[in-house]
Amino acid sequence: MVDVLTIREAGKTRGRLRTLDAVSLEVETGQRIALLGHNGAGKTTLMKAVLGLTQLDSGTIEVDGARPGSAHARSVTAYLPEAVSFHKALTGREQLTLFARLAGAGTGRVARDLVRVGLADAADRRIGTYSKGMRQRLGLAQVLLGRPKLALLDEPTSGLDPISRHELYAIIDEMAGQGTAVMISSHTLTEVEARTDRIAILREGRVVADDTLANLTLRAGLPTRLRIRTSEGVAERIAAETSGTRVNGVSVDLLCAPEAKMAELRRLSAMGEAIADIEMHPPRLEDLYRHYSQGDGR
């Protein structure tokens, strides 16, 4: 795989605030990476630096081997901001056609991309009549133009209903499948958990985590929660024998380290009919995000 985006020791200071502090990241062809962090963590500054809108104080960024903001970097990069803005007097088709001509991508894909983002029926309505979600979908159609090598998506599901959110990530999957490297900045952790290949977490301008979800989970060592549903009348005994916490009349919660999970399951299985069911709840991305963003990871 080839790195489409390479960030090396990127640093940026605004006044006395270090907004980026030795940030290093690589995004390969067809890879989907989620960029997470609290407000002020440096996500927007990093995206602006990749776009060439903000100059670094130190370090380097290469977009497909080119300097950010250069003609080549601009030609291979697409950007979807959180709050898209279009000319209200134009129709969706007119606006997308204009973008296609400006990008030199030709207008042959305009109708198809409008269909793909669910705007075929509204293509000839003025954008001033569009809802926020519709404007967001028009922005995604703009991203699809020219099949970019790198797509930067800042809160791409903002203003979208649940069905549209699902459709958006399906489109992102298609883009990645066609070789586009995708960086998604989002606060909606449940969405990016299953739809990205890597997670990068920023805290106070520094990268505090950068790996697959599985590896971050292993490194964090957060416990797995076992919800044990017991047979009637034995919950108290099972709680005492497992050192678990009784939740209600028939359930017990037990926390175990990742490496002890199988041993606990075998021990519970040996209790026979006293155990009616076991639900396993491994750490979620929200748990990992809290762990790393609060400084517990590195």
114-163 pLDDT, tens digit per residue, is 998 889 999 999 999 998 888 988 998 998 887 899 999 998 887 778 88
Segment among 69-73, 194-198, 225-229 with least mean pLDDT = 194-198
Q: Residue 186: what pLDDT? A: 86
pLDDT tier at 274 (50, 70, 90 boundaries)? very high
pLDDT digits (tens, 9 = 90+) for 45-68: 999 999 999 999 999 999 999 999
Do residues 92 and 127 lie in contact, with contact meaning Cβ atoms separated by under 8 Å?
A: yes
**In this predicted structure, what is the pLDDT of residue 63?**
97
Predicted pLDDT at 101: 86
Report residue 272: phi and psi, to 5°: 65, -140
DSSP string, the chain: --EEEEEEEEEEEETTEEEEEEEEEEEETT-EEEEE--TTSSHHHHHHHHHTSS--SEEEEEETTB-TTSHHHHHHEEEE-SS----TTSBHHHHHHHHHHHHT--STTHHHHHHHTT-TTTTTSBGGG--HHHHHHHHHHHHHTT--SEEEEESTTTT--HHHHHHHHHHHHHHHHTT-EEEEE-S-HHHHHTT-SEEEEEETTEEEEEE-HHHHHHHHTPPEEEEEEEPTT-HHHHHHHHT-EE-SSSEEEEEE-GGGHHHHHHHHHTTGGGEEEEEEEPPPHHHHHHHHHTT---
Q: What is the pTM of this model?
A: 0.84
pLDDT reading at 297 higher than 60: no
Question: How far is it, in rounded angstroms, from Cα 217 to Cα 214?
Answer: 5
Two structure tokens written together for 279: 């639900």
- Summarize the confidence of residues 101-118 as an average pLDDT: 84
Strands 198-203 and 206-211: antiparallel
- Percent with pLDDT over 90 in the chain: 63
Closest to 68 measured CA to CA, from 53, 46, 57, 52:
52
Could you tell me the pLDDT band of residue 248, with boundaries at 50, 70 and 90?
Answer: confident
pLDDT in tens, 163-183: 888 888 888 998 999 999 999
Question: Residue 246 pLDDT > 50, yes or no?
Answer: yes
Amino acid sitting at position 88: K
What is the torsional sign of CA 130, 133, 139, 145? negative
pLDDT at site 158: 78
Averaged pLDDT of the chain: 90
Q: What confidence tier does 296 reach under pLDDT thresholds 50, 70, 90? A: low
Domains and CATH numbers, the chain: 3-217 (3.40.50.300), 223-282 (3.30.70)
pLDDT at 35 over 50: yes
pLDDT score for 298: 46
Higher pLDDT pick, 15 / 51: 51
* Reported confidence tier of residue 214, pLDDT bands at 50, 70, 90: confident
pLDDT at site 295: 66
